[in-house]
Structure formats: C-alpha cells, structure tokens
C-alpha cells in the first residue's frame, strides 16, 4: 500500500499534473476521486489538520458556482462549512496530497515536492 494519497479530480489539469509528478518520482499513490467518493466530516477535519489550516475555509473553492448558489461567505465557521463540503465536494480545493501526517495542495503541482523530498 502506498504511503501517499491524492484527492484527485481527473478533469482538473492541476490534479492530473500533480498525479503525473508523483508518478515521475516512482510514487503510485492511492487515488481518491473525491467527487465520486468525498471525504466524510472527520476525514475532512483530519485533512485540514494535516494541511495546517487555521480554518477549513482556506481550502474552499470560492469561484465554484455552488459557492455562490449556497450564498457562502468567509465568516462561516468550520462546523458550518465542513458538512457543506462533504455534501458538495466541488467546494474542496484540489488536488490534495497526503503523506503520513502532512499534506499539501498541488497548486502548483510542484508543491508536492515538499512531501517527496521530506
């Protein structure tokens, strides 16, 4: 089993580039297509911790139409946002790569080098 996991959207160029970069370094991560298999609330909280976030809002995709449709704003608490992110996984920034108790967002894809070279 791989020590790397990627929350991946195959339709996203940055996500594809990040996966390719991992593979170039002979890493075959566990690939989770998060739009089909979104993380649950506890998993999302753990991802936020591994990313070192102050607020889960830091990984919300504000430009997604669902963000505007739901009338979300940056003043919402994590306990309000997390269930919405689980219900509407398009709100989650992508890709997220996890190794152990650390994670990075692959935007730009080279961010994963911090995990690979650790």
Looking at the annotation, which residues are catalytic?
Answer: 12
CA-wise closest residue to 41 among 80, 88, 86: 86
Cα angle: 67, vertex 35, 63; to 5 degrees = 25
Give the Cα separation of 96 and 35 in Å (integer): 13
Question: Cα 102 to chain center, whole Å?
Answer: 12
């Amino acid at each position: 089993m791989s020590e790397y996991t990627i929350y991946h959207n195959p339709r996203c160029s940055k996500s594809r580039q990040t996966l390719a970069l991992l593979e170039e370094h002979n890493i075959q991560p566990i690939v989770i297509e998060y739009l089909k298999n979104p993380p649950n609330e506890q998993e999302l909280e753990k991802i936020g911790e591994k990313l070192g976030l102050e607020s889960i809002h830091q990984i919300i995709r504000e430009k997604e139409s669902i963000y505007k449709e739901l009338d979300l704003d940056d003043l919402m608490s994590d306990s309000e946002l997390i269930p919405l992110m689980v219900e509407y996984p398009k709100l989650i920034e992508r890709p997220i790569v996890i190794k152990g108790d650390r994670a990075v967002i692959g935007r730009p894809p080279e961010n994963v080098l911090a995990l690979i070279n650790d």
